[in-house]
Amino acid sequence: MDTLAISNLHVVVNEKPILKGVNLSIRRGETHALMGPNGSGKSTLGLAIMGHPQYEITAGTIQLNGQNLLEMSPDERARAGLFMAFQRPVAIPGVRMADFLRHASTNVRRPERKEGEDLIPMREFRKELRERMEQLRMDPEFARRYVNDGFSGGEMKRAEILQLAMLQPKFAILDETDSGLDADAVRLASQSIAEIGGKSMGLLIITHHDKLLEHNPPDFTHVMLGGRIVETGTFELAIELHQQGYDRIRAANPDADADNQAMTVKTEQVGA
Amino acid sequence: MATDITEKNTAAIGEINKYDFRTESTAVFKARRGLDAEIVQQISEMKGEPAWMRDFRLRSLAIFESKPMPKWGGDIGVDFQDIFYYLKPTDHQGRTWDDVPAEIKETFDKLGIPEAEKKFLAGVKAQFESEVVYGSLQEELGNKGVIFTDTDTALREHTDLLREYFGTIIPPEDNKFAALNSAVWSGGSFIYVPKGVKIEFPLQAYFRINAESMGQFERTLIIVDEGAHVHSVEGCTAPMYSTESLHSAVVEIVVKRGARCRYTTIQNWANNIYNLVTKRAMAYRDATMEWIDGNLGSRLTMKYPAVYMMEPGARGEILSIAFSSAGQHQDAGAKLVHCAPHTTGQIISKSISKNGGRSSYRGLVKVEKGATDARCNVVCDALILDPRSRSDTYPYIEVAEQDVTIGHEASVSRIGEEQMFYLTSRGLTESEASTMIVNGFIEPLVKELPMEYAVEMNRLIQLQMEGSVG
């Protein structure tokens, strides 16, 4: 059974400690929801797992089937079977979705491929991409557009799901794939993740709501506060948090809450 | 006569990569190194030229000698006395592919020219060393009265037509290197498109330098008569040599009333080449001239394709891409001169610098007195791949009229960490990711190229980018 194991993870960003000892273990086939107030460190956890260069690991380990991910570059992590759907994916002007996806799919499916070696044959790739886009009810014209360039919020999220579908990772982190979408779009996204085989992956779904979870009911729900996972429960916990907010959690974890508030204030000062 | 007959260039055949190889070359005539009136006279004699051309060459030589080296642009470290100014590979020009010598075919094979021809070449004009050795032209063009030949042949067979325009768009007095070319020119293309004839496919010419210390001074003249259309494409991939080498071409184009001309160049020079080229077009009433210019490699490139808009309604467009890497300086740009009212121009320039390379955009927009309602837009974007590389912009604008519209936008960017992270997190290596970002950056220009060239351009960029991150 493929396992992604995070142990005592401490992460510093721009000299600010964000994660303060995160423990989390995900097995392939499981769905985990990760919730928590703004600034609690949810996205940081995802970016640290994926290997963003600005996220410095000061303590702890991340392992995929016992292999140390911290020694691997982001592309090696992707080839090992990790994927992250970003909250705000960047635009790559002039690069067509289809070309980008063909390159990415080839590398991820043939992890030992060397630069310059052949890509998936064009005809075969186009057929597969067309089928995936049909399944996701996307306009085929989308494949010809430049990556995330001039995309609406909804289009960006659909493009991330399309990439998830094409790359079929062992583990996927979905960072607020529902944010900025209207209710119908969230339902479609939720359904799409299930349709493309989300259940065969290990999913870490970062969300504030329960709608995205509708078609992907979590086996576990984790609550993050002040850079730690302070509570773990079932789907019911996700529903409770969506309906009632984090007051109970904050009250039960005053230290983590104080940290969270300090982190949020700092973030705002930096932003202002 | 101080000439070496049948000098053999014993350069080893060694393919370092597809764009860097040499083929043994058996030259039958090679002038001695250096430049003086005797050499110029010899060149003219060898070619059996009329007296007026010989006199034009000698006059140009005097102008070349009297002009100082330009004090702007790049550092031109050329020893003019250490260069061969003329080399003739075979006695006769190949009429058919079978007549072309095997070693020259081998060079073309490595460039993929026969395949390219099969696909959509109308006529191949390939300059091997100093002369065009092979030229094929579709009968169809001949029947329409189109002339597409090398400039030496044109001088013999279309003397009056050539003489009417030769050196009128770019006179030898224009600049030191135009004077040099005028003195020692050899080869190049001559195209005449008669009134109303629209050529639907691009006419192509490949140029290569393939002899050590060999200067290449091709001379191109294109006349697009009233209402005619033509697209001429030239491609260049040069082998690498250890000593300095000079390429100094002149391209003159006349676009008459209501005519259209597009001239596309993709040049990939070896790191030791000084590429100093003068390109200018004159566009008359309602005529359109477009330069598409891709410059890779070379030690120094100085090239500023120009359009002079001579009569109302004329339009000039210049799209350029420059890519400079270690030890390379691209000083490239464009020049638009509005000489008449209601003329419109556009310059789009993209440059990429990496591994300590330097790219400069140098552009001039000039509106002459009386050119009211002139409109011009300039966009230049630079992409710098690492902190050691450099990009400069030198935009010059001279306006002698009130009622004109001129826009200028410039941007300099670096490859963003977020873009790199995004692409690498999808399984692309850092070097694949940066190549993809660079190809995306030049995509707006590459999509204007004929397909074969677009593919080649992307492949060249990939070669330039390989191993650039690490």
Class of domain A3-89+170-271: alpha beta
**Tens of pLDDT along B332-382?**
999 999 999 999 999 999 999 999 999 999 999 999 999 999 999 999 999
Q: Using the 8-state DSSP alphabet, how is residue B174 labeled?
A: S
- CA angle B203–B205–B207, rounded 5-degree value: 170
**CA dist., res. B124 & res. B109, Å (int):** 13
Residues of A with CB under 8 A from a CB of B: 50-54, 73-75, 77-79, 83-84, 86, 89-90, 92-95, 99-100, 103-104, 107-108, 115-116, 146-147, 163, 167
User: What's the confidence (pLDDT) of residue B26?
Assistant: 52
Q: What is the mean pLDDT of residues B173-197?
A: 94
Output B444 or B333, whichever has higher pLDDT: B333
The residue out of B303, B325, B350 marking a domain boundary is B303
Would B469 be classed as within a structural domain?
A: yes
Residue B312 lies in a domain: no
How many Å lie between the alpha carbon of B387 and the closest alpha carbon of chain A?
18
Q: What is the mean pLDDT of residues B217-245?
A: 78
User: Which tokens belong to B181?
Assistant: 């070319």
Yes or no: say if A100 and A147 are a contact pair by the CB < 8 Å rule.
yes
- 3-state percent breakdown (helix, strand, coil) of chain A, nearest 5: 45, 25, 30
Q: Amino acid identity of B318?
A: I
Pick the residue from chain B with its C-alpha nearest to A146. B440
User: Is there a single domain that holds both residue B290 and residue B435?
Assistant: no
Residue B466 has a pLDDT of 66
pLDDT tens-place string over residues B265-276: 887 777 778 999
Q: What pLDDT sits at residue B218?
A: 87
The pLDDT tens digits for B389-408 are 999 999 999 999 999 999 99
Count CA within 13 A, CB hemisphere, residue B196: 1
Among residues A163, A26, A179, A19, which one has the least CA distance to residue A85?
A: A163
Whether the CB-CB separation of A198 and A165 falls below 8 Å is answered with no
Considering only the beta carbons, identify the residue of B428, B441, B462 that sits closest to A107: B428
Comparing A149-163, B116-130, B173-187, B384-398, the range with the smallest average pLDDT is: B116-130
Does residue B30 sit within a domain? yes
CA dihedral A88→A89→A90→A91, nearest 10 degrees, is -120
Strand pairing category for B124-128 and B87-88: unpaired
Q: How far is CA B277 from CA A85, A251, B167, B181, B333, in A?
A: 49, 75, 14, 9, 12
Contacts by A188-191, CB closer than 8 A, 24 or more apart:
A188/A137, A189/A157, A189/A158, A189/A161, A190/A214, A190/A215, A190/A216, A191/A215
What CA–CA distance (Å, rounded) separates A29 from A33? Answer: 13
The total number of structural domains that make up chain B: 2
Segment B241-262 shows an average pLDDT of 86
Mean per-residue pLDDT over chain B, rounded: 80
Q: Which amino acid is at B251?
A: V
Does some domain include residue B332? Answer: no
Annotate A195-221 with b (16+ C-beta within 10 A) or e (fewer).
ebebeebbbbbbbbbbbbbebbebebb
Average the pLDDT over B88-107 and give the result.
50
More confident residue, A165 or B124: A165
Residues in chain B within 8 Å Cβ distance of A90: 416, 418-419, 422
Q: What is the pLDDT of residue A176?
A: 93
DSSP A115-184: TTSPPSPHHHHHHHHHHHHHHTT--GGGGGSEETTT--HHHHHHHHHHHHHHH--SEEEEESTTTT--HH
**Domain assignment of residue B296, given as a range:** 3-303
| Residue the block writes with tokens 């001579």 | B310
Rounded to an integer, what is the distance from CA B132 to the centroid of its chain? Answer: 16
- Cα–Cα dist A211/A202, whole Å: 19
pLDDT band at B118 (very low <50, low <70, confident <90, very high): very low
- Average per-residue pLDDT in chain A? 93
Q: What is the mean pLDDT of residues A26-36?
A: 96
Token match 């002007």: residue? A93
Cα–Cα distance measured from residue A43 to residue A34, given in angstroms and rounded to the nearest whole number: 10
pLDDT band at B231 (very low <50, low <70, confident <90, very high): very high
Report the predicted TM-score, pTM, of the whole model to 2 decimal places. 0.76
Per CB-CB distance under 8 Å, the chain A contacts of B431 are: 115
Mention every residue, 6+ apart, whose C-beta is less than 8 A from residue A56: A11, A12, A13
Mean pLDDT, rounded, for B12-33: 47
User: Which of A52, A103, A163 lies closest to B421 in CB terms?
Assistant: A52
Interface residue of B425, B437, B466 to substitute, partner A, most A CBs within 10 Å: B425
The more confident residue out of B327 and B456 is B327
| Beta carbons of B423 and A52 less than 8 angstroms apart | no
* pLDDT confidence tier of residue A127, bands split at 50, 70 and 90: very high
CB-CB contact of B106 with B66 (8 Å): no
Nearest CA in chain A to B432: A115
A237 — phi, psi (to 5°)?
Answer: -60, -40
Residue B172 domain flag: yes
| Tens-place pLDDT, residues B35-94 | 999 999 999 998 899 999 999 999 999 999 999 988 888 888 788 888 878 766 544 344
Say what the pLDDT of residue B463 is.
73
- Is the residue at B342 inside a domain? no
Region A161-189 average pLDDT:
93
* pLDDT score, position A96: 95
pLDDT digits (tens, 9 = 90+) for B292-325: 998 888 889 999 999 999 999 999 999 999 999 9
Query: Is B116 among the domain residues?
Result: yes
Q: State what percent of residues in chain B have pLDDT above 70.
A: 76
Task: Give CA–CA dist A162/A146, Å, rounded.
Answer: 14
B269, B303, B337: which is the final residue of a domain?
A: B303
Q: Please, which pLDDT band fits residue B186 given cuts at 50, 70 and 90?
A: confident
Residue B394, SS3 per DSSP: strand
How far is CA B187 from each of CA A168, B153, B180, B220, B249, rounded to the nearest angstrom?
57, 9, 14, 8, 10
% of chain B surpassing 90 pLDDT: 51
